Structure 1
Amino acid sequence: MSKDGGPTVAVKLFIDKEKRKVLFAESDKDFVDILFSFLTLPLGTIVRLFDKQSQVGCLDELYKSVESLGEDHFRTKACKGMLLNPLNASATHCNRLKVKVANTNPMYRCKNASCGVSAFSSVPDAICSCGYVVKYIRERTNTNFHSIFSDIIKIGVFVIGVPKFIITDDLEVAPASTRVMFSLIEKYGIPEKENVQEKVLQLNSAKMTSLLRRALLTKQVLTGLYFDAAIPPNATDMCLLPENMLAKQALEADPNFKAINVRLVHAKDDTVLYAEVGQDFVDLIFGLLSVPLGSVLKTFSELPQIGCVDSIYKSVTASVKQECQSLLLSPMLGPFFGCSSNVMQVEELACRPLMIGSTSCFELNPKSGSDRAYIKGGPMNFMVTDDLRIGPFCLINALEIVCASKVPKDKLVEKELTLNKTQVLKLVGAAFGTSKALSSLLMPSKK
């Protein structure tokens, strides 16, 4: 237990005292299960965990934009809450972790005591078919799932049943073995015994959350955690996108994709000032907040970011049970969390009846209809800045941005663009990996 009384997990660090560097770590299933659970976290949850100071690309500004946008721009009030508190489709598994970094499996029921509708919701402010708003009841559990594993103490949530795992400083995970030992010797040599210090850390929820942040922004995660090294500011402040950033499956034809039109204002041969866009663009970009981290890593073979969460992703095959691998390699969206343009083709978890007492209940659609969009359709246009701060288009705000840029009139360029699927996917990757998403995609000549 930690000092605050919360549960902890142990990890043993092997430290090169002379170089002040963690060589590797050793742990059991509890710590490694939490590392793999990071892949199930929606991006909006990650931003919320760090109080909108995650420094991950443009995600902080994107999250703030949802907060600031008036409820009248969303299809329902619940749509705004869905983006600010996205559901983890693997929450039932994550609730079994010894230490939790996020609790995202609430259940809501109709406020009307006389309502005869047998329904529940996973998000607040959903409207029951009787017309009443739902209210929070409790954290949702799956009693059948727990009963299956209640007597199996030693089984991991995600990982295979081995006694120990080895974790490198940049979070590569593998079952402990002679092969792994020799790979470490090849990487570090055989250190002098007197230079190696063993240190067991007990990590609570706050420490695991800090570890997640380092995994997103740094390469030496365990070293930084142990020595409390500062994370460089603006770690993802870059513009250029990798040449071959898209995974092969992401480039497959999608007959449901519709090209997106934008009107761009930028300085000639320089950065983007803003873009004027429609509802389709906003819905797609806002929907990114509900996408799990593992789905981002599946879509992009290379991202313009300096963290090492991809090391966790690449470790899944060797360390995770076969039946759990798809939960981490292709994590799903929660029910009804798909947006109108699912350009990343992330599957949505199917709705299933839930037994509440002796009653079989169905899940309400928070969007109140068959339309998958979060944002209302219509003639309203929106303004998007380079860092993906989004708001309703306003002439005064547009003039302020142009004036603040101090770009001479003869250096300003306005043009209309039509973004195809590849460009939109690269924009999504830029939103995760850089703080200048529009410039990184639409101004490729910038060095």
Structure 2
Amino acid sequence: MGSKPVHLKVFVDKKKKKVMFAEAEQDFVEILFSFLTLPLGTIARLTSNKYEATKDVKVGSLNSLYESVENLDNKHFSNEHCKIALVNPNNSSLSLCQKLKLNLNNMKPDTSVCESDVDVVFFKKNTSFIITDDLNVVPVLLDTSIPLLNFLGVEYIDLLEERTIDFGLEEFSSLLKWSLVTDTPLTNLVLGGGKSCSCFFSCSSCIKTSTRSNLPLITSYYTQRQTVKLLIQKSKGKVLCAEADNFFVEMLFSFLTIPLGSVKRLTMNNSSSPTGIDNMYNSIFSSLGDGKYLKSEEIKNMLLCPKLASNYLRVTDLLPIYENNINPGSFLKEQETFIVSDELEVTVSPSITAISKFNTLGIPVGDIEVTEVSIGEQEALLILKACLTSTSALTDCLSSFKKAKSMI
């Protein structure tokens, strides 16, 4: 990498085969928090299957969507820069992230960053932190550490195995991936992959959290609802694919430009999942958001609700992700009809080809029905959430699509 690795000290219960907690300095935690500034396109690139430890782990339908953009012929884009802006999206927080010991936005390592004299980027001063297995982050203070260790069931720290892990790009990329799909990302990273949780932002067993009403919001545009045709396998109630015009694909492609922290903010409701990203997000809002640790309120808002990079035009009115003064634009060149799979793979092909493909999979034409559904902001946000949680994103949103149609 051209830089010294960042260290993490983990404490492992060998009987339980679990990382009980970890101890980290502020340089590690700052890189961890920078996950929230990453656009989903960057996350898709970092969490692709190039690392052996997580090659069989999928982050919902995100990687499928990203690969669609990579594979789509350049002739379908407005210009050569549009595709680049999706597969290698800009980060609005790049100027700060470049000062971190490891900038996850870089396609290639930037050795000059390592020579920087900056000691702290997000925090007021050098601070040590305890990080739980599910990425709850708290400062190392007696009044917080002892209750936390009691809650974790740690009676004697010296009975735990202590390991020091060197983190570089591969380790942080793997931790990012585990933090999106499981509530035990440190254990999965250190001791090997385990069962992932597919719920990310909401599931029936999740803990209730309060709404963060004091976070900045971006004004929502009023927009006329649009329609999409779905091919549904009647016997299983499963969406086989969608046939959609440009508006729907522009919306899907815009997902890749949205920072993770904003995705979390946009899809927040009264329930929250126990995944690592969710706990880390809550740590910034609660235990570290009181003004004692983060440098400023601006840093806090940058992490909890990061903005899109300023180079992106407004390609969709279905998502409240743009500032009011952003001009309209488009990633795609001209009006076409696209086929979108349940896993959000986007292709340009005739409908008859898609039907033939399903016949090959043993699905007869008689088991396929076409239904037209209505898409507005609420449905767009559901698909955005499902993009990170499910490999059957459209099927997961089907009941909401039908409900929305019945109310029109």
Q: TM-score, normalised by structure 1?
A: 0.75
User: Is 1:376 paired with 2:333?
Assistant: yes
Letter in 2 for 1:203: F
Aligned to 2:256: 289
Provide the secondary structure at the position in 1 that maps to 2:397: helix
Provide the secondary structure at the position in 2 that maps to 1:97: coil
Aligned to 1:10: 7
Aligned to 2:240: 273
Provide the C-alpha distance between the structure 2 equivalents of 1:21 and 1:278, rounded to a whole number of angstroms: 48
Q: Deviations over 1:237-276 (max 9, x none)?
A: 99x9779999788999834333121011102251011111
Q: 1:183 to 1:248 in 2, by over 3 A?
A: closer
Q: Which moved more, 1:90-99 or 1:176-185?
A: 176-185
Q: Deviations over 1:194-225 (max 9, x none)?
A: 52233222222222222212212222222222
Aligned to 1:125: none
Tell me the CA shift for residue 434 of structure 1. 0.7
Letter in 2 for 1:321: K
Provide the C-alpha distance between the structure 2 equivalents of 1:241 and 1:197, rounded to a whole number of angstroms: 33
Aligned to 2:38: 41
Gaps of 5+ in 1: 107-137, 142-149, 352-369
Tell me the CA shift for residue 436 of structure 1. 0.4
Tell me the CA shift for residue 14 of structure 1. 2.3
Aligned to 2:312: 337
User: Is 1:70 paired with 2:73?
Assistant: yes
Q: 1:391 to 1:445 in 2, by over 3 A?
A: closer
Aligned to 2:186: 222
Q: TM-score, normalised by structure 2?
A: 0.82
Larger radius of gyration: 1
Q: 1:288 to 1:190 in 2, by over 3 A?
A: closer
Gaps of 5+ in 2: 50-54, 289-293, 403-408
Contact map agreement 1:94 1:100 (CA 8 A) in 2? yes
Number of aligned residues? 382
Letter in 1 for 2:233: A
Provide the secondary structure at the position in 2 that maps to 1:398: helix
Letter in 2 for 1:278: D
Aligned to 1:254: 220
Q: 1:445 to 1:82 in 2, by over 3 A?
A: closer
Provide the C-alpha distance between the structure 1 equivalents of 2:106 and 2:178, rounded to a whole number of angstroms: 20
Q: 1:342 to 1:333 in 2, by over 3 A?
A: farther
Q: Which moved more, 1:418-427 or 1:408-417?
A: 408-417
Tell me the CA shift for residue 313 of structure 1. 1.1
Report sequence identity in percent: 31
Tell me the CA shift for residue 344 of structure 1. 3.6
Contact map agreement 1:170 1:221 (CA 8 A) in 2? yes
Q: 1:83 to 1:37 in 2, by over 3 A?
A: same
Provide the secondary structure at the position in 2 that maps to 1:315: helix
Provide the C-alpha distance between the structure 2 equivalents of 1:193 and 1:253, rounded to a whole number of angstroms: 49
Tell me the CA shift for residue 232 of structure 1. 4.5
Tell me the CA shift for residue 98 of structure 1. 1.0
Provide the C-alpha distance between the structure 1 equivalents of 2:138 and 2:273, rounded to a whole number of angstroms: 24
Provide the secondary structure at the position in 2 that maps to 1:34: helix
Tell me the CA shift for residue 164 of structure 1. 1.2
